[in-house]
Structure 1
Amino acid sequence: MIKKPLLLACAAAFAALPLSAQDTKPEYPSPPEIVAKAQAEEWVAIAPSDLLVMDLAPDAKGKARRVVIQLMPAPFSQGWVGNIRKLAAAKWWDGTSVNRVQDNYVVQWGDATEKKALPEGLAVVPEREYVTPFRVGVMEQVWGVGGKREALMELLPRPPMGDNIPHFEDPYARSFSFVGGFPVAMTSASEYARQGASQTTPKLMLMPKDLWPTHCYAMVGVGRNLSPDTGTGAELYTVIGHAPRHLDRNIALVGRVIEGIEHLSSLPRGTGPLGFYEKEEERVPITSVRLGNEISDLPAFEYLSTESASFAAYADARANRRDPFFIIPAGGADICNIPVPIRRKTQ
């Protein structure tokens, strides 16, 4: 038992220490703080021609409603993306509507009558285009247990579990990565590659096999009928709820909403089957859909490079929240819990 004079002496000595010695708990920045401090060169400009701008009819208070969509980059879903560009050029969506709002799932838009003639020359895209075979150069990094690694790497033992080791794991895929700032999941294949000067000692290497975009919040996909139909791109939807990853590799993803998602996610829920509106007056009119390079007053947008040091720190912070509000770090994150930061470009 510690006697009172000794206890008082210890307390006095502790009080005499500088504050930094009394409280050694490090301070960790939050994910938004990390993004705010990212260097200008870590941001990547989004080309206006890669944006799809959808203007809805004004709301009940007369306020404009604009939704900006970034189209999926190559090599993913380019058959459907090409169709979308043709549909926008033909002004096909003008006068169509938002027809379906299903709670915790999707908002869908297009021609409610399904009778409007499509422009000529739209591609019929096969189901195999839902996935893309990996090739060297598509991406440099793969995210998984312990952080990110090279896309091609020697097969090493699984890193040990621990509170300080970030675990980026995906329940629907072997691992994940980012291509052009978009989230993609993948399967992995192992192969033998001869390494070293002698070229006689094989080493087991891990490499991705198939890649596909993932159904995270605000991603945009192509509505379709039953297989083998894959949709043209005329009927589109966006995710407004918990990531429906079971749709991955079953429906084409063609982009993501980067601004204005609130104009879709806040709409009244449809009362018909699957959230479709039952009455014509419930539908939200679409006044126009254009490519971004046709909009004179469109601001410039940019995303935080997923290869940057700031993004690596941001991803770690998303996986292990240690800023003051949090008590217990989660220790991990899946791909949809690491949304790529996007902002209007600062002038």
Structure 2
Amino acid sequence: MKRFLNLTAAAALCASVPAFAQEAITYPAPSEIVAAAKAQEWATIAPSDLLVMDLAPDAAGKSRHVVIQLMPDPFSQGWIGNIRKLATAKWWDGTSINRVQDNYVVQWGDATEKKALPDGLETVPESSYTTPLTDPFAGMLLFAAIVGQKEAADACNRKSEDKISDCYREIERQVMHRDPYGDLYGFYKGWPAGADPDAAWPIHCYGMVGVGRNLSPDTGTGAELYTVIGHAPRHLDRNIAVVGRVIEGIEHLSSLPRGTGALGFYESEAERVPILSVRLGSDAQNVPSFEYLRTESDSFKAYADARANRRDPFFIRPAGGADICNIPVPVRRQTAK
């Protein structure tokens, strides 16, 4: 099994080597690694997997566009199917941004909670917060092979399938980088995810988009959405559906005035930010093409290693690890090829 994340450590200079024999080594910054990635290491995002939200112009009359990438199969597909129907029905047109809670979320939808929903929306069960894996960690690039653990990870990969799980947990214990919100964590099809031997799930990092809901067993339809604008609220993982991420225009949401009501809700209609339209990228006008750095690529592995161990000139001491939300998957407007 070669699908585990390989984070290769840089060789440290031996302290016993005389100073005159040491040569300065320059390490690239994460941004430099991304900029040097080969064209084939980038994956195009289909326009149909984009959600384009146009807000009312700001006080200076400047237009505000927010672009969301919807999550791929198999995660959260019941809610994403609903979101596609809502966008096609133009349901969000005339709704608003209703909540801005500092260091937490921006939320939007129908403030009156009386707008009729389109027909055919699915009621998604709570079991869909996670996705069963047909075999342990299928398709995941696990973060267990932390810097300096390549040999141990390779040894795990040679074990029988029923023992790989325990082997990787031992690596996690040794390097003390076990995710406190799940057994393991890594990247799945370009998205950060948590996992255990039986299931995987998308996680709440900055810019992720989730589905608002009432108390259990309600899971939300997808009509009420939010995006994270603060420290990653990982305690929400497996409790609320994550359906996408903002890939452009997050500043139009994160810079909004904070709501003064409970949980950051706006208390008057005048405070709310009108939503002019929400469309699928395949139905919108003049939508740029976007691409993301493939998480199975060599450049992403080098980038992840550099994020976990900053060795470029500004840094004095590499951290030796990183929260998965501090390794955002690079997304950019597609360049000409």
Aligned pairs for 1:271-286 (under 5 A) are 271-286=260-275
Runs of 4+ in 1 over 3 A off after TM superposition: 20-23, 147-162
Question: Is the partner of 2:143 in helix, strand or coil?
Answer: strand
**Contact 1:185–1:213 under 8 Å retained in 2:** yes
Counterpart in the other structure of 1:174: 183
The count of aligned residue pairs is: 305
**Contact 2:146–2:321 under 8 Å retained in 1:** no
AA aligned opposite 2:39: A
1:175 is displaced (CA, Å) by 1.2
**TM superposition score normalised by structure 2:** 0.86
**Contact 2:310–2:319 under 8 Å retained in 1:** yes
Query: For residues 242 and 60 of structure 1, do their structure 2 counterparts lie closer, same or farther at Cα, with a shift above 3 Å needed?
Result: same
Which string of whole-angstrom CA distances, capped at 9 and with x for unpartnered residues, describes residues 215-250 of structure 1? 000000000000000000000000000000000000
Question: What is the alpha-carbon distance in structure 1 between the residues aligned to residue 235 and residue 26 of structure 2?
Answer: 38
Counterpart in the other structure of 2:14: none
1:334 is displaced (CA, Å) by 1.7
Question: Is the partner of 2:121 in helix, strand or coil?
Answer: coil
Counterpart in the other structure of 1:84: 83
Query: For residues 57 and 331 of structure 1, do their structure 2 counterparts lie closer, same or farther at Cα, with a shift above 3 Å needed?
Result: same
- Unaligned runs of 5+ residues in structure 2 are 1-18
Counterpart in the other structure of 2:322: 333
Q: Are residues 1:232 and 2:221 paired?
A: yes
Counterpart in the other structure of 2:239: 250
Question: Is the partner of 2:198 in helix, strand or coil?
Answer: strand
Fraction of identical pairs, as percent: 69
**Contact 2:50–2:280 under 8 Å retained in 1:** yes
Which string of whole-angstrom CA distances, capped at 9 and with x for unpartnered residues, describes residues 194-220 of structure 1? xxxxxxxxxxxxxx3111100000000
1:27 is displaced (CA, Å) by 1.1
Query: For residues 262 and 160 of structure 1, do their structure 2 counterparts lie closer, same or farther at Cα, with a shift above 3 Å needed?
Result: closer
Question: What is the alpha-carbon distance in structure 1 between the residues aligned to residue 179 and residue 295 of structure 2?
Answer: 18
Question: What is the alpha-carbon distance in structure 1 between the residues aligned to residue 81 and residue 224 of structure 2?
Answer: 14
Larger Rg: 1
Question: Is the partner of 2:82 in helix, strand or coil?
Answer: helix
1:145 is displaced (CA, Å) by 4.5
Counterpart in the other structure of 1:37: 36
Counterpart in the other structure of 1:308: 297
1:142 is displaced (CA, Å) by 1.6
Question: Is the partner of 1:310 in helix, strand or coil?
Answer: helix
1:138 is displaced (CA, Å) by 4.6
Which string of whole-angstrom CA distances, capped at 9 and with x for unpartnered residues, describes residues 84-127 of structure 1? 00000000000000000000000000000000000001000010
Question: What is the alpha-carbon distance in structure 2 between the residues aligned to residue 182 and residue 168 of structure 1?
Answer: 19
**Contact 1:220–1:256 under 8 Å retained in 2:** yes
Counterpart in the other structure of 2:100: 101
Question: What is the alpha-carbon distance in structure 1 between the residues aligned to residue 77 and residue 171 of structure 2?
Answer: 37
1:161 is displaced (CA, Å) by 9.4
- Unaligned runs of 5+ residues in structure 1 are 1-19, 188-207
Aligned pairs for 1:1-150 (under 5 A) are 24-136=23-135, 138-146=138-146
**Contact 1:168–1:335 under 8 Å retained in 2:** no
1:296 is displaced (CA, Å) by 2.9
AA aligned opposite 1:278: E
What RMSD in Å do the two structures reach over aligned CA positions?
2.1
Question: What is the alpha-carbon distance in structure 1 between the residues aligned to residue 100 and residue 172 of structure 2?
Answer: 44
Question: What is the alpha-carbon distance in structure 1 between the residues aligned to residue 72 and residue 108 of structure 2?
Answer: 22
**Contact 1:53–1:69 under 8 Å retained in 2:** yes
1:258 is displaced (CA, Å) by 0.5
Question: What is the alpha-carbon distance in structure 2 between the residues aligned to residue 331 and residue 143 of structure 1?
Answer: 13
**Contact 1:169–1:332 under 8 Å retained in 2:** no
**Contact 2:140–2:187 under 8 Å retained in 1:** no
